[in-house]
C-alpha cells in the first residue's frame, strides 16, 4: 500500500517529555546523578482524589520512590523519613508555579539513598495533601543512563487504532545529536543527519483493519563505533464490522453451544467496533476476531470455536481499539493486582494470570460440571417471623472464607436464627471490603472462596433450616465495572452512558450512580437478580440504598430525597414483580428509610424494610430516654408486619461500645462496667425480639461485641471474637437471645397483631394479646430504681419466664419497684422453661408488690445508713419460711439466708463490713409476699 509522507524536520528542543501529561521533567532525559526538576500539572490527573489538590497554594507534598528496573517496584528505595502517608513529608514539599502546577528539584540517587552500584531505571511519584486525604494516581518517570536514548513524544500509544485517510503526527527526541531514520512497514520515509529531533506526519491509508509498523532509529555520529537506539510502534486503520443479526436464543455474556464452542455477546451501543482478545489469539487483534455488529448497532458478537473442553480461557473485549475490558457478565475474573493475595486454602488451584494480558480479564469455560445440589426439604420461614443474622464473611471468620462460615452454622442453629443475610460477595474492588463497591455483578468474589464453596454454604444453611439472603448492591458500581469505563468522560460517567447518571441524583451517593429509569439498567437488574436466585439458590435479597433508585434530583436535600417518589415506587414494584415471577416466595428487603407513605405502600405490596432503631436501643442500654414504638409495623400504620427492626447492623456503632463509653453512672450502679453493660444488652434484646415482626441481629451482637465500628477505619477489618463464647457472662447474653428467639418462633402470641407498645418512658412495656396466651414485657431502662404502676394487662396469675416464678396480681396497676436494668417477661399461661440463671432476677428479685394475703408491718432496719452492720427486725403475725437476699444496686446477689419464722418477732443481723460504701437492696420473701428495702452503707 502506498503511504504518503509529509516530513517536517526541525531543531526544536522540548523541555517536557510528553503532551498533556501529569508529570514532566527538565531535562527531558533525566539521569540518576544529576539534578532533575519534576513538574506536575494537576489538571491532568485522572484520580478523583486529586480534586482536593486543585486550587491549593500550599500543603502539597511529593510521595515517591526509586526502582532499579524499568517494570518492577518503583518504590524500592524511598527518601529518609517517608513513612506516614497521612502526615506532611517536609523533604517532599512542592513549590507552587500557579495554575495548579507544582515543581520540585531533586538528585535521584541522593534523594532516594540509592547505592552507587545500583542503577535507577524509574521513579514512582505522586502528589498528596499533608493529611493524605487527597492525592494523584501513581505516576512514573523514566531515568536514563548516559547512552543515546530516545523519547517518543507523539503518538504516545504503542499499539493503537486510527481513522482511515488521516495524517498521523510523529515526533521523536533524542538525548544526543544523531542520524535519524523513520520507516513504515520496512519502507524508509525519512532520514536526517546530525539532529536531536524529528517531526513527521504519516497518512494512515484507507485499508480497513490494516495494521502498520513504524520504526524509528537513531545512531550517533561522534564515536568511532557509534551508539544506536530504536523504537517501534503500531497503528491499525479502524475496521468496519460485519453487520449480522444476533442468532436466536443468545444473550449478553458467554453462551455455550458445545464443549468446544462459545459465543460472546457484548451490549455496547454507540461503539464503533469491538475485538475479542484473549488466550485464543495471544491478546492480539486480527480480522478473524473482529466481532460482528447487530443491525441496531447495540451489540457485538462472535463465535469462538475449537476451545478445549473444561479448560478455563481468559478473554477481554477491546472496544474502539482503545479500551480493553473484561466481560460485564463474567462469572469469574482474574485480577492481576489482587489475586496473588488470595490464599490457596481459600481458593485452591486458581488459574494464573495470563501472560500478555493487562488489567482485569474474564474467564470462560465450556463443558462445566454443574454443582451437585442435594435434595433439601427446605421451606422458607414465614417472612413475618424472620430472625435475620447479618454477617460479613471477612469479619465473621478468621479464615475469611465460605468454608469456615459453613462450619459455624451449628452455632447459628443453636442461637435459633432462621435467616442469614450475607453482606455483598459479588466481585468488588480489592480483596478487603464491605463489598459495597461492586465491579462484576455475576462473579462471586474469589477472596471468600470458590463459587462451589458458596453454593455448599447455602445448601448447608438450608439443611439447618436457615434461609440465606444476599445483600445486593444495585445503586452504584465502582470504576472497574466495564460499563463505567466504557462510557467515561475523564472524571465521571459520560452523558451517553446507557446505565449510569453522570452525577448522582441524591446526596448519599458513593462511587457511580445507576439510572434506574434506563431500559439498559432495568434489563441488567432483572438479569442480576434472576442469576443469583437460580444459580446459587439464594432465598432473596436485601437491597442496599434502595432509596437511591430515584431520578428525582434532590441535590444535597435529604428531606427532598426521602419524600414520596412515584417513579421510585414504580421502579420497586417492577423489580419486586420480576423477582416474584422468577421465585414466588423470595424475600425482597429494602434499606429505604423514606417517607412512611412510600414505605407503607411498598410494604403493603409485599416488600420488607429495614427498621433502624440503633440510636434508641443505645439510649435504652445507656439508661437514657428512648422510644421503641417505631419497632412495630402496626405503629406505622402498615397492613403487614414487614418491618425488620434492629438494634445493630453493619452500619452503626455497636451497642456495647456506646454503653461502655457513654453509659450512665448512678451511685454504685455503673453501666460502663462490662458485667452491667451485658445486663443492659439483655434488656435491649428483650424489647427487640419480642416486638412482633421480623428482626435482625448483627454478627456477635448476641455475645456483646464491643469493638467500635471505627476501629481500623469504618469499613476496615475488625477482630473476630469467637472467644466471647467461652465467657460465662457473654454466654448468658447469648442464652437470652436464644430463649427469646425460640419463643418468637414457637409461641403464637409473639406473632400477634394485637400489640400495644408503651416504650416512650424509662420504664417500658409491651403487651401482646392472643386467644391462648397474653404476653407482658416490662423493663426499667433507667439507671436508678423506679417505683411505678405495674400496668399489667389484667389480674390473675402471671408467669415470669426467666425467673420461673408466678405471681398473683389482684390489681393491674399495683405499684412495682424495679431495679435499674431489671426486666420481666410475663405470660398468662406458662411458657417453655428456659435455661436457668440467664438473668440475675432470681426468686428473691421479684419486683411485684401486688396485694398480699396479709399486710407486712413491724419491719425495721437500723441503723440506716450503717457503717458495719444493720439489724433487721420483723414483728408481725406471719409464720413460715423467710428468704432474705442482699444485692447491690445492679441486682447482683451478694448474700442470702433462709430461716423459719415461728414467733411474732424475727431478728437478723446484716454484715456490711467487707462491702464498699454505696446503696444496697434488702429483699424479703414471705410466702407470696415480697418486701424491698434500701440500705445505705457509709
Read off the pLDDT of each residue in 525-546 and give the average, rounded to a whole number.
98
In which band, very low, low, confident or very high, does the pLDDT at 936 lie, cut at 50, 70 and 90?
confident
- For residue 392, give every residue at least 6 positions away whose Cβ sits within 8 Å of its Cβ, in sequence order, or none: 422, 423, 434, 435, 650, 699
* pLDDT surpassing 90 at residue 212: yes
User: For 566-592, how does the pLDDT look when each residue is reduced to its tens digit (9 = 90+)?
Assistant: 999 999 999 999 999 999 999 999 999
pLDDT score of 930? 75
Cα 570 to Cα 601: distance, rounded to the nearest angstrom: 11
Domain 253-366 has CATH 2.60.40.10: yes
Between 847 and 59, where is the model more confident?
59
Which DSSP helix (H) or strand (E) runs through 670? Answer: strand 669-670
Asked whether 540 and 458 are in contact (CB, 8 A), the reply is no
Handedness of CA 88, 89, 95, 100 (dihedral sign): negative
CATH superfamily of 387-630+641-733: Glycosidases (3.20.20.80)
Cα 453 to Cα 846: distance, rounded to the nearest angstrom: 50
Cα 630 to Cα 627: distance, rounded to the nearest angstrom: 7
| Region 859-937: CATH code | 2.60.40.1930
- For residue 685, give every residue at least 6 positions away whose Cβ sits within 8 Å of its Cβ, in sequence order, or none: 647, 702, 733, 736, 737, 740
- Report the mean per-residue pLDDT for the chain: 92
First to last CA, the chain: 107
Residues β-bridged to residue 645: 611, 695
User: For 799-841, how does the pLDDT look when each residue is reduced to its tens digit (9 = 90+)?
Assistant: 999 988 888 898 888 878 888 999 999 999 999 999 999 998 8
In which band, very low, low, confident or very high, does the pLDDT at 352 lie, cut at 50, 70 and 90?
very high
* pLDDT surpassing 50 at residue 847: no
In which band, very low, low, confident or very high, does the pLDDT at 857 lie, cut at 50, 70 and 90?
low
Instruction: Determine the 3-state secondary structure of 640 from DSSP.
Output: coil
- For residue 793, give every residue at least 6 positions away whose Cβ sits within 8 Å of its Cβ, in sequence order, or none: 767, 769, 774, 776, 812, 828
- Model's pTM, two decimal places? 0.81
pLDDT score of 224? 59
Percent of the chain beyond pLDDT 70?
A: 95
pLDDT score of 311? 98
Cα 869 to Cα 357: distance, rounded to the nearest angstrom: 84
Tell me if 23-142 shares its fold with 738-827. yes
* pLDDT surpassing 90 at residue 11: no
Instruction: Determine the 3-state secondary structure of 389 from DSSP.
Output: strand
Counting Cα atoms < 13 Å in the Cβ hemisphere of 428 gives 19
DSSP state of 369: P
Asked whether 643 and 609 are in contact (CB, 8 A), the reply is yes
Percent of the chain beyond pLDDT 90?
A: 82
Asked whether 686 and 776 are in contact (CB, 8 A), the reply is no
924 backbone dihedrals φ, ψ, rounded to 5°? -115, 140
Q: Of 157-171, 521-535, 887-901, where does mean pLDDT reach its minimum?
A: 887-901
Helix 566-582 / helix 596-605 crossing angle, nearest 10 deg: 20
pLDDT score of 292? 98
* pLDDT surpassing 80 at residue 540: yes
* pLDDT surpassing 80 at residue 550: yes
* pLDDT surpassing 80 at residue 18: no
Between 843 and 656, where is the model more confident?
656
Residues in the chain: 938
* pLDDT surpassing 70 at residue 450: yes
In which band, very low, low, confident or very high, does the pLDDT at 225 lie, cut at 50, 70 and 90?
low
Strands (E), 445-569: 467-472, 476-477, 512-513, 540-543
Residue 413 CB neighbours (<10 A): 15
Pick the CATH number of 23-142 from 2.60.40, 3.30.1460, 2.30.30, 1.10.10: 2.60.40
Q: Of 73-77, 84-88, 302-306, 912-916, where does mean pLDDT reach its minimum?
A: 912-916
pLDDT score of 223? 61
* CA 315, chain centre distance (Å): 28
Residues β-bridged to residue 909: 871
DSSP state of 228: E
Handedness of CA 697, 698, 704, 709 (dihedral sign): negative
User: For 243-274, how does the pLDDT look when each residue is reduced to its tens digit (9 = 90+)?
Assistant: 999 999 999 999 999 999 999 999 999 999 99
Q: Which CATH class is domain 738-827?
A: mainly beta
Asked whether 880 and 901 are in contact (CB, 8 A), the reply is yes
Which DSSP helix (H) or strand (E) runs through 309? Answer: none
DSSP helix, strand, coil percent of the chain (3-state; round to 5)? 20, 35, 45
Residues β-bridged to residue 874: 859, 906
* pLDDT surpassing 80 at residue 294: yes
Cα 505 to Cα 568: distance, rounded to the nearest angstrom: 12
* pLDDT surpassing 70 at residue 468: yes
**Please, what's the largest Cα pairwise distance for the chain?**
129
* pLDDT surpassing 50 at residue 15: no
Cα 356 to Cα 492: distance, rounded to the nearest angstrom: 29
Asked whether 547 and 594 are in contact (CB, 8 A), the reply is yes
* pLDDT surpassing 80 at residue 5: no
User: For 594-623, how does the pLDDT look when each residue is reduced to its tens digit (9 = 90+)?
Assistant: 999 999 999 999 999 999 999 999 999 999
Cα 401 to Cα 397: distance, rounded to the nearest angstrom: 7
Cα 605 to Cα 791: distance, rounded to the nearest angstrom: 36
Cα 380 to Cα 422: distance, rounded to the nearest angstrom: 16
Instruction: Determine the 3-state secondary structure of 132 from DSSP.
Output: coil
The alpha-helical segments, DSSP class H, found in 312-392 are none
pLDDT score of 6? 32
| Whole-number CA gyration radius for the chain | 36
pLDDT score of 855? 44
Strands (E), 407-543: 419-422, 426-428, 438-444, 467-472, 476-477, 512-513, 540-543
* pLDDT surpassing 50 at residue 636: yes
| Region 150-237: CATH code | 2.60.40.10
pLDDT score of 448? 98
Read off the pLDDT of each residue in 921-931 and give the average, rounded to a whole number.
80
Task: Calculate the dihedral angle through the C-alpha atoms of 334, 340, 344, 348, rounding to the nearest 10 degrees.
Answer: 20
pLDDT score of 850? 37
Residue 878 CB neighbours (<10 A): 20
Which DSSP helix (H) or strand (E) runs through 73? Answer: none
Read off the pLDDT of each residue in 40-44 and give the average, rounded to a whole number.
96
* pLDDT surpassing 50 at residue 725: yes
Asked whether 583 and 575 are in contact (CB, 8 A), the reply is no
The domain segmentation of the chain, as residue ranges, is 23-142, 150-237, 253-366, 387-630+641-733, 738-827, 859-937
pLDDT score of 4? 29
Residue 692 CB neighbours (<10 A): 26
**Edge-to-edge order in the sheet of strand 905-911:** 859-862, 869-875, 905-911
- For residue 394, give every residue at least 6 positions away whose Cβ sits within 8 Å of its Cβ, in sequence order, or none: 400, 432, 433, 447, 448, 717
Amino acid at each position: 500500500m502506498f503511504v504518503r509522507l509529509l516530513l517536517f524536520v526541525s531543531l526544536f528542543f522540548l523541555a517536557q517529555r510528553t503532551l498533556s501529561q501529569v508529570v514532566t521533567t527538565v531535562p527531558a532525559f533525566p539521569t540518576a546523578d544529576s539534578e532533575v526538576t519534576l513538574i506536575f500539572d494537576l489538571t491532568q490527573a485522572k484520580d478523583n482524589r486529586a480534586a482536593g489538590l486543585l486550587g491549593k497554594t500550599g500543603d502539597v507534598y511529593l510521595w515517591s520512590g526509586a526502582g532499579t528496573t524499568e517494570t518492577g517496584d518503583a518504590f524500592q528505595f524511598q527518601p529518609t523519613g517517608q513513612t506516614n502517608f497521612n502526615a506532611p513529608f517536609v523533604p517532599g514539599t512542592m513549590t507552587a508555579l500557579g495554575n495548579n502546577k507544582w515543581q520540585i528539584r531533586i538528585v535521584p540517587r541522593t534523594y532516594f539513598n540509592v547505592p552507587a552500584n545500583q542503577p535507577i531505571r524509574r521513579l514512582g511519584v505522586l502528589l498528596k495533601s499533608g493529611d493524605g486525604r487527597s492525592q494523584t494516581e501513581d505516576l512514573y518517570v523514566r531515568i536514563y543512563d548516559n547512552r543515546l536514548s530516545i523519547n517518543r513524544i507523539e503518538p504516545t500509544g504503542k499499539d493503537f487504532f486510527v481513522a482511515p485517510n488521516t495524517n498521523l503526527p510523529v515526533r521523536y527526541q533524542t538525548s544526543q545529536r544523531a542520524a535519524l531514520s523513520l520507516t513504515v512497514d520496512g519502507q524508509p520515509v525519512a532520514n536526517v543527519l546530525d539532529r536531536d529531533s524529528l517531526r513527521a506526519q504519516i497518512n494512515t491509508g484507507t485499508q480497513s483493519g490494516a495494521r502498520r509498523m513504524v520504526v524509528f532509529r537513531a545512531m550517533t555520529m561522534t564515536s568511532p563505533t557509534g551508539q544506536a537506539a530504536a523504537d517501534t510502534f503500531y497503528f491499525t486503520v479502524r475496521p468496519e464490522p460485519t453487520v449480522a443479526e444476533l442468532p436466536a436464543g443468545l444473550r449478553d455474556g458467554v453462551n455455550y453451544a458445545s464443549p468446544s464452542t462459545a459465543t460472546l455477546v457484548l451490549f455496547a451501543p454507540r461503539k464503533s467496533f469491538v475485538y475479542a482478545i484473549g488466550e485464543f489469539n495471544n491478546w492480539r487483534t486480527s480480522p478473524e476476531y473482529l466481532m460482528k455488529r447487530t443491525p441496531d448497532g447495540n451489540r457485538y458478537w462472535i463465535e469462538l470455536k475449537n476451545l478445549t473442553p473444561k479448560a478455563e480461557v481468559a478473554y477481554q473485549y477491546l472496544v474502539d481499539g482503545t479500551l480493553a475490558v473484561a466481560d460485564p457478565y463474567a462469572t469469574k475474573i482474574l485480577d492481576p493486582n489482587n489475586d496473588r493475595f488470595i490464599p490457596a486454602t481459600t481458593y485452591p488451584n486458581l488459574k494464573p494470570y495470563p501472560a500478555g494480558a493487562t488489567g482485569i480479564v474474564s474467564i470462560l469455560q465450556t463443558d462445566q460440571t454443574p454443582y451437585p445440589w442435594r435434595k433439601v426439604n427446605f421451606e422458607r420461614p414465614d417472612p413475618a417471623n424472620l430472625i435475620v443474622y447479618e454477617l460479613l464473611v471477612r469479619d465473621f471468620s478468621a479464615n475469611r472464607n465460605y468454608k469456615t462460615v459453613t462450619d459455624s452454622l451449628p452455632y447459628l442453629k443453636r442461637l435459633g436464627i432462621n435467616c442469614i443475610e450475607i453482606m455483598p460477595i459479588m466481585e468488588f474492588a480489592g480483596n478487603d471490603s464491605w463489598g459495597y463497591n461492586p465491579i462484576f455483578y455475576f462473579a462471586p468474589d474469589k477472596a471468600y472462596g470458590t463459587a462451589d464453596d458458596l453454593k455448599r454454604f447455602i445448601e448447608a444453611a438450608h439443611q439447618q433450616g436457615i434461609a440465606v439472603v444476599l445483600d445486593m448492591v444495585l445503586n452504584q458500581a465502582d470504576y472497574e465495572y466495564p460499563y463505567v469505563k466504557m462510557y467515561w468522560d475523564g472524571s465521571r460517567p459520560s452523558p451517553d452512558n446507557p446505565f449510569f447518571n453522570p452525577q448522582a441524583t441524591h446526596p448519599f451517593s458513593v462511587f457511580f450512580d445507576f439510572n434506574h429509569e434506563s431500559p439498559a439498567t432495568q434489563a441488567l437488574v432483572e438479569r442480576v437478580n434472576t442469576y443469583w436466585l437460580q444459580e446459587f439458590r439464594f432465598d432473596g435479597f436485601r437491597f442496599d440504598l434502595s432509596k437511591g433508585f430515584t431520578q428525582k434530583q434532590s441535590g444535597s436535600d435529604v428531606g427532598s430525597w426521602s419524600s414520596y417518589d412515584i417513579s421510585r415506587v414504580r421502579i420497586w414494584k417492577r423489580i419486586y414483580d420480576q423477582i416474584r415471577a422468577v421465585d414466588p416466595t423470595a424475600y425482597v428487603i429494602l434499606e429505604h428509610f423514606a417517607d412512611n407513605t412510600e414505605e407503607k405502600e411498598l410494604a403493603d405490596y409485599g416488600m420488607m424494610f429495614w427498621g433502624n432503631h440503633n440510636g434508641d436501643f443505645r439510649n435504652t442500654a445507656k439508661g437514657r430516654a428512648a422510644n421503641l414504638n417505631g419497632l412495630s409495623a402496626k405503629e406505622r400504620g402498615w397492613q403487614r408486619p414487614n418491618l425488620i427492626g434492629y438494634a445493630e447492623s453493619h452500619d452503626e456503632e455497636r451497642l456495647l461500645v456506646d454503653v461502655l463509653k457513654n453509659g450512665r453512672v448512678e451511685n454504685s450502679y455503673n453501666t460502663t462496667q462490662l458485667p452491667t453493660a451485658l445486663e443492659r444488652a439483655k434488656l435491649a434484646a428483650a424489647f427487640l425480639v419480642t416486638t412482633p415482626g421480623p428482626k435482625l441481629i448483627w454478627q456477635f451482637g448476641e455475645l456483646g461485641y464491643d469493638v467500635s465500628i471505627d476501629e481500623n477505619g469504618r469499613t476496615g477489618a475488625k477482630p473476630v471474637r469467637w472467644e466471647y463464647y467461652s465467657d460465662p457472662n457473654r454466654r448468658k447474653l447469648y442464652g437470652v437471645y436464644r430463649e427469646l428467639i425460640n419463643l418468637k418462633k414457637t409461641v403464637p402470641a409473639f406473632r400477634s397483631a394485637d400489640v400495644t407498645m408503651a416504650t416512650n418512658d424509662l420504664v417500658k412495656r409491651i403487651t401482646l394479646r392472643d386467644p391462648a396466651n397474653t404476653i407482658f414485657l416490662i423493663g426499667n431502662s433507667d439507671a436508678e430504681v423506679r417505683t411505678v404502676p405495674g400496668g399489667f394487662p389484667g389480674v390473675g396469675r402471671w408467669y415470669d419466664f426467666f425467673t420461673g416464678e408466678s405471681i398473683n396480681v389482684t390489681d393491674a396497676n399495683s405499684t412495682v419497684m424495679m431495679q435499674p436494668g431489671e426486666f420481666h417477661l410475663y405470660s398468662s399461661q406458662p411458657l417453655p422453661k428456659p435455661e436457668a440463671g440467664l438473668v440475675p432476677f432470681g426468686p428473691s428479685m421479684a419486683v411485684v408488690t401486688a396485694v398480699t394475703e396479709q399486710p407486712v408491718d413491724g419491719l425495721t432496719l437500723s441503723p440506716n445508713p450503717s457503717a458495719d452492720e444493720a439489724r433487721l427486725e420483723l414483728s408481725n403475725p406471719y409464720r413460715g419460711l423467710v428468704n432474705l437476699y442482699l444485692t447491690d444496686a445492679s441486682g447482683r446477689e451478694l448474700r442470702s439466708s433462709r430461716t423459719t419464722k415461728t414467733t411474732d418477732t424475727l431478728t437478723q443481723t446484716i454484715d456490711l463490713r467487707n462491702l464498699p460504701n454505696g446503696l444496697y437492696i434488702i429483699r424479703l420473701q414471705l410466702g407470696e409476699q415480697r418486701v424491698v428495702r434500701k440500705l445505705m452503707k457509709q
